[in-house]
Amino acid sequence: MSRVSRTLSVLELPALLAVPILMVTLALSGVDATAGLTLLVALLAVGLVFASFEASRPPLRQLMPTAVLAATAAAGRVLFAPVPDVKPVSAIAIVAGAALGRRSGFMVGAVAALVSNFFFGQGSWTPWQMYAWGLVGYLGGVFADRGLLERGGVLYAWGFLSALMYGAILNGYYVLGFVRPLTWPSVLAAYAAGFPLDCVHGVATAAFLAAIWLPWGRSIRRVVRKYDL
């Protein structure tokens, strides 16, 4: 591993966690340019993980399953478009992170958001969706590395909580960008309005994990072992 790759690897998690920390800090401090500053940091965090993935020089045999899972997640989001907040993206990103590593999990979530938005529409929300779904897959990989997702209860709990985390980030983007005046009642009202849909997303993610975790995970791990990924 090169020095650049090691440096980027060390910076990944702090950069990803800096985004929500900065969102809360700037919002509480009353900075006017909060939305723009946090968007910039989110873009930098996404770019850093993309750069870290590229610097690790993944072989084609690892790129292919990552690309296939990202395309499947994007297609699944489009397929379930008629059903609000029932999307397989989080579940597929978690499976990718667990089976292929945290960076692949991030890539699957982020690329799925970017590609599927060519159908749903691109906008200022796209980087936030890339960051949020990427973070879901990245943390899925981190938890899997520690053996936490081997227990069904923990796996499904993370599936549900990952959707709440995704919703908290996207609701934060909405609050910082569009809610004025920014007061505690207005913030709580915005989050309360989105909470039922976030719960639907969480239940759907746990259900998708129940359906794909064993067969997909087994197949991906077989590829990992066969090609020594």
Q: 13 lies in a domain?
A: no
Q: 10 lies in a domain?
A: no
- Give yes or no for a contact between 133 and 95, defined as CB atoms under 8 angstroms apart: no
Domain that holds residue 99: 59-227
C-alpha distances (whole Å) from 161 to each of 39, 91, 155, 199 are: 23, 12, 10, 9
CATH of the domain at 182: 1.10.1760.20
Specify the number of domains making up the chain. 1
By residue count, the chain amounts to 229
Q: 49 lies in a domain?
A: no
Half-sphere exposure of 144 (CA within 13 A, CB side): 24
Q: 221 lies in a domain?
A: yes
Q: What is the pLDDT of residues 44-93, one digit of tens each?
A: 999 999 998 888 887 767 788 899 999 999 999 999 999 888 999 999 99
CA-closest candidate to residue 136, choices 170, 102, 111, 176: 102
pLDDT band at 184 (very low <50, low <70, confident <90, very high): confident
**pLDDT attached to residue 224:** 64
Any idea which of 22-26, 31-35, 46-50, 193-197 has the lowest mean pLDDT? 31-35
Q: What is the pLDDT of residues 113-123, one digit of tens each?
A: 999 999 999 98
Q: Which amino acid is at 154?
A: V
Q: Which two structure tokens, joined as six digits, stand for 33? A: 């340019």
Q: 162 lies in a domain?
A: yes
Q: 22 lies in a domain?
A: no
**pLDDT attached to residue 32:** 65
Q: 131 lies in a domain?
A: yes
- Give yes or no for a contact between 107 and 70, defined as CB atoms under 8 angstroms apart: yes
Q: 219 lies in a domain?
A: yes
Looking at per-residue confidence, does 36 or 174 come out higher?
A: 174
Scan for tokens 């899925």, then name that residue.
140
**pLDDT attached to residue 229:** 56
Q: Which two structure tokens, joined as six digits, stand for 225? A: 């072992």
Average pLDDT, the chain: 88
pLDDT band at 34 (very low <50, low <70, confident <90, very high): confident
Distance CA 55, CA 175 (A): 35
